[in-house]
Structure 1
Amino acid sequence: MKRIYIHTILLSFICLLNACSRDFLDRAPLDDYSDETYWTTEQDAVKFASRIYEFMPSADFFVCYEGMSDNAFSKTASWGNTLRNAQLIGNSTFVVTTGSLGDEWKYDQVRHCFEFLEQVDKVPDMNEDLKKRLVAEVKVALAYRYFMMTMLYRDVPLVMKVFTSVAESDVPKEDKAAVVAQVLQWLDEAAPDLLLTYAGDDRGRFTQGAALALKARVLLYNGRYPEAAAAAKSVMDLDAYALYPDYYNLFQMEGDYSSEDVISFIHVKETKPNGLRDIAGVNSVSGGTLYLNPLPSLVDDYESANGYYPFTGDPAYDPHAPYHNRDPRLGATVYYPGSILANNKKYDPINSPLDKIGGDKATYTGYAFRKIFDKTELEVRDNGGNDWKILRYAEVLLTYAEAANEATGPSAAVIAAIDEVRSRAHMPGVNETFAINGWTLNQSTLRTFIRHERRIELAGEGHRYFDILRWKIGQQVLQGPIYTLDASQGLADIDNTNGNTNKFPKTKLEDRYFNNDKFYVWPIPQSILDQARNLQQQPEWR
């Protein structure tokens, strides 16, 4: 059974990092804590530092980025904050004067990190190796937080200390490049002081590989390809990671703390569960609300099992069984009509009273996410125990492949990295796939292939939205109408007897309007601007 590790050590411990009553960056709750009474033992420092793991993205939150991409449709605008706005961002109808995108504007987390860095030296007789390791962990958390803010808000205030007055905290934005430079510096400083692996209650802490892999992601997302390739290769050369053999079970509790985990948010049944029942749960299995629905454009992007792309080009393609003979990652990622659910019943979104397309708490597209949902959660409650994979080794391999291809073009090493990912999925390698489709292998065609592979391998994990932002493809993939599945020819896997039907017409769900570059950057929340004089709104949103 999974134990409760570091993420639950400090659930209620939140310190006051700023003496003023109004800090425009963010405010932390009041507490009885004081600097004079707290920093007295090593355990104080460990508890305070461990709080950073609560700052990392959980399953309930990060999965909603799928609804902002062409991977999924968020069918409601009734969730809280960013969850509520997933549909409005996905269809580019978000209005800055009536909504707020503040869930990633987290300067309370920044303050917590600097409070630790400024106070830890007060602990008497602290073991120096432990202190260096905790400082390194906090720097990784700082790097992650600023990285996320620069990806979404672009230019943000670069706060490097704990403020002591309102006036001092009213600071302007810093150029994104300067913030990213500081992020990379923190990661470079942290990596040497982190362990390669942890055991026992320390499992789940940031490792040296975590710092290096996050560095590779930061460099890739900022178009610094030679450096990104080198950083990813440094992770590969650690020989500390390997792909988990079973793609589906990697995302179940069996895959927690696996050889593929680099950074994960730890969820524990009963005590710290994930809340994916409402977001991704099938109604007939767990009473889920299924707010988030995979789109046909994602399902149709999976190759045939033989590597034909599109899958309809495979000689074995059967229009009445379009989900057969496909990349095995499709069945592991998505419930489609005819899939066997976790309760061993057949998924029928055409006839099932609970799962019927457009029904209450049912799918809107005809599909549901499978791989992120705990297969043991069969009761009507949020009690998923599977961890959320924030960064895993397959991403490192694809980061290396993309960055190295962008830097120098195709190579045997690039192809080997992609083939390692595809081999785990039981898919043909790059050269075989290019040959069967009649494609010419060059930098441009391999770029297209790697981008496709990222979409398929990482589907349901929240990364696609960030790929759209950095590749600047919003106008191509988030513009125009989106639809339900098209079962107008009839599906062989759905029973059409006793009054049932196996047909469903392609039906429009909504229109998307990504027709302006302003949607590549998030607006600063108005509530933040209202408390500041020196901080200005992004020019695209004024």
Structure 2
Amino acid sequence: MKNIKSQIGIVLTTMIVLSAATGCKKFLDTEKQGTYTTDNYPYPKGSGPYDTFLFGAYNDLRSYDVHCTGFFLATNVRSDDADKGSTAGDGGADANSFDTFPVLPSNGIVSGMWVGYLSFIAKCNNVINQVDNNPAITASDQIKMQSKAEARFMRGYAYFNMVRFFGRVPILDKVLSVSAVNVPQSSAAQIYTFIESDLQFAAANLPASWDPRFVGRATSGMANGILAKVYLTQKKWAAAMGAANMVMTSGQYDLSTPYDKIFGESGENSQESVFEVQATASATVPTDNGVQINQFQGVRDGGVWNLGFGWNVPTSYLEAAYEPNDPREARTFLRRSTASTTYQTVYGENTPTTWNNPIYNQKVYTSPAFRALYNDMSGYWLNIRILRYADVVLMYAEAANEIGGAANITLASTALNSVRSRARNGNTAILPDVVTIDQATLRTAIHHERRIELAMEYDRFFDLVRWGQSQSALAAAGRPGFVASRDNLLPIPQTQIDLSKGVLTQNPGY
């Protein structure tokens, strides 16, 4: 697989000059994955002359510091749904503090996240700079707008994560010189305005779908779906309902994929998929074009079960939240067998009694057939599900219910029950429709459904924060160290404050 390298020439507050090392992956499937060379790279038969720069940005979606340890620690382990897992010594204080609080400004994982996301943003800015300022590249206006829209979608998504992680961050909207790079933080409100602008532009200028060769590239559905979540986070209910409705009426997505098929290799890029980080592997290149997030969550044991590090494991509090016989629990919880009960994986393998943890996250469990095909246990090839169609439907339901009124509450109930119907899979004895015209009761039902439908999928902590429930939920889950006024946000890395010579300032409570 070809590795395209281009010098970006952007300096961040860390004073690091970035180099865009990009790998072709599933969104470049013109032939068997893993076999690109300098001779068969898709341009000029691909989408346009800015692909080299775009793939530099797309590649950062697979970056360790963007979508790996810090990502699931900050979104899952900080919540009531997951523990760090493994042993106390594994990962040390930097990892364990996401469980126990507070996460300190000296935390190396947090520092990596800050640098990783700003590196990602810098590559998006480079794409825009190439489109606007590189006279050596000739392209139609349509290709220019589309390429900028791809970059602005990724930049908007990156800033959405950053503002939820850190609150106030610098807005870097262009390629900056060394002398101009030390930028003060903007307020969260300013950052959300910037994110909305990026995603609105992306939604207006991206295609609804791509040629199958380019599966995984940014679409209008991705942009509207993330935009719906941006609006929902700010309680802009009508705007959130409208953006979600754009996805729901696009004709690109539906709930036809069975729940137990969504998360494995065979469920990648299905009708359920709105936004997936694309990953791939081959027997000769098992990890370079993939994502490490699955390995960190894989079963920690020996021999054939030596699949990973055993982090991000479901809690008993999540387990207790399921309704009786909800089949989604079996697809989410990968259980260790006991002397009296033999459990199986989703692929029919009996689990042993020797695992270090009693439960693992089965949504990242890889197929034994693919492990054999790639002669690798790590799971780098499995895509990350960032935004599913069911999430969009539940956002629509939540927004409609919050707007209120009989008509909207009916729309909210219908949307909610469509998700429950898919989950029950024809079994009328379980998961009955929610029948209520009371807004508060329906709100509770929608919150519950989000927790169960999206369990272990990197949303729970953000949901608790935006619902104003983080303090009560974490206290109920036995996390006495959590203080919402401090821990709803991560600290600004102290190294970045020091490098900025005080231009960056710390979040409250740290």
TM-score range, shorter chain: 0.7 to 0.9
Sort the Cα spacing of 1:245 and 1:539 in 2 relative to 1 into closer, same or farther, 3 A.
Answer: closer
Sort the Cα spacing of 1:240 and 1:89 in 2 relative to 1 into closer, same or farther, 3 A.
Answer: same
Corresponding position: 1:340 with 2:344: yes
| Matched residue, 2:17 | 28
Sort the Cα spacing of 1:98 and 1:341 in 2 relative to 1 into closer, same or farther, 3 A.
Answer: closer
Contact 1:204 1:263 in 2 (8 A): yes
| Matched residue, 1:189 | 201
Which residue of 246, 263, 269 maps to 1:251? 263
Q: CA deviation at 1:140?
A: 0.3
| Matched residue, 2:61 | 56
Which residue of 498, 502, 505 maps to 1:537? 505
Q: CA deviation at 1:78?
A: 6.0
> Matched residues in 2 for 1:118 and 1:422: separation?
45
| Matched residue, 2:392 | 396
Q: What are the residue-to-residue correspondences of 1:480-495 with 2, within 5 Å?
A: 482=478
Letter in 2 for 1:477: A
Q: What are the residue-to-residue correspondences of 1:252-331 with 2, within 5 Å?
A: 252-270=264-282, 271=285, 272-275=289-292, 276-281=294-299, 283=301, 285-288=304-307, 289-304=309-324, 326-331=325-330
Letter in 2 for 1:254: S
| Matched residue, 2:453 | 457
Contact 2:264 2:367 in 1 (8 A): yes
Contact 2:20 2:123 in 1 (8 A): no
The one-character-per-residue Cα deviations of 1:251-303 (angstroms, maximum 9, x if unpaired) are 11111121111111112133434432442326365313322221111111110
Contact 2:417 2:433 in 1 (8 A): no
Q: What are the residue-to-residue correspondences of 1:120-519 with 2, within 5 Å?
A: 120-121=131-132, 122-166=135-179, 168-270=180-282, 271=285, 272-275=289-292, 276-281=294-299, 283=301, 285-288=304-307, 289-304=309-324, 326-336=325-335, 337=337, 338-341=342-345, 344-347=348-351, 352=353, 354-355=354-355, 362-363=356-357, 366-376=358-368, 377=371, 381-408=377-404, 411-426=409-424, 432-434=432-434, 441-479=437-475, 482=478, 512-519=480-487
| Matched residue, 1:67 | 77
Contact 2:10 2:122 in 1 (8 A): yes
| Matched residue, 1:110 | 121
Identity of counterpart residues, as a percentage? 26
Contact 1:243 1:394 in 2 (8 A): yes
**Higher deviation after alignment, 387-396 or 368-377:** 368-377
Could you state the TM-score of these two structures normalised by the residue count of structure 2? 0.81
Q: CA deviation at 1:229?
A: 0.9
Give the RMSD, CA atoms, in angstroms: 2.9
Unaligned runs of 5+ in 1: 1-7, 33-39, 305-325, 356-361, 483-510
Contact 2:159 2:191 in 1 (8 A): yes
> Matched residues in 2 for 1:446 and 1:434: separation?
8
Q: Give secondary structure in 1 for the equivalent of 2:151.
A: helix
The one-character-per-residue Cα deviations of 1:401-432 (angstroms, maximum 9, x if unpaired) are 11111122562211111111111111769994
> Matched residues in 2 for 1:115 and 1:97: separation?
30
| Matched residue, 1:37 | none
Letter in 1 for 2:333: V
Sort the Cα spacing of 1:100 and 1:369 in 2 relative to 1 into closer, same or farther, 3 A.
Answer: closer
The one-character-per-residue Cα deviations of 1:110-137 (angstroms, maximum 9, x if unpaired) are 2222222122242443132222111100
Contact 1:67 1:87 in 2 (8 A): no
Sort the Cα spacing of 1:380 and 1:109 in 2 relative to 1 into closer, same or farther, 3 A.
Answer: closer
Sort the Cα spacing of 1:332 and 1:539 in 2 relative to 1 into closer, same or farther, 3 A.
Answer: closer
Q: Give secondary structure in 2 for the equivalent of 1:15.
A: strand
> Matched residues in 2 for 1:242 and 1:12: separation?
38
Could you state the TM-score of these two structures normalised by the residue count of structure 1? 0.77
Contact 1:401 1:418 in 2 (8 A): yes
Sort the Cα spacing of 1:184 and 1:430 in 2 relative to 1 into closer, same or farther, 3 A.
Answer: farther
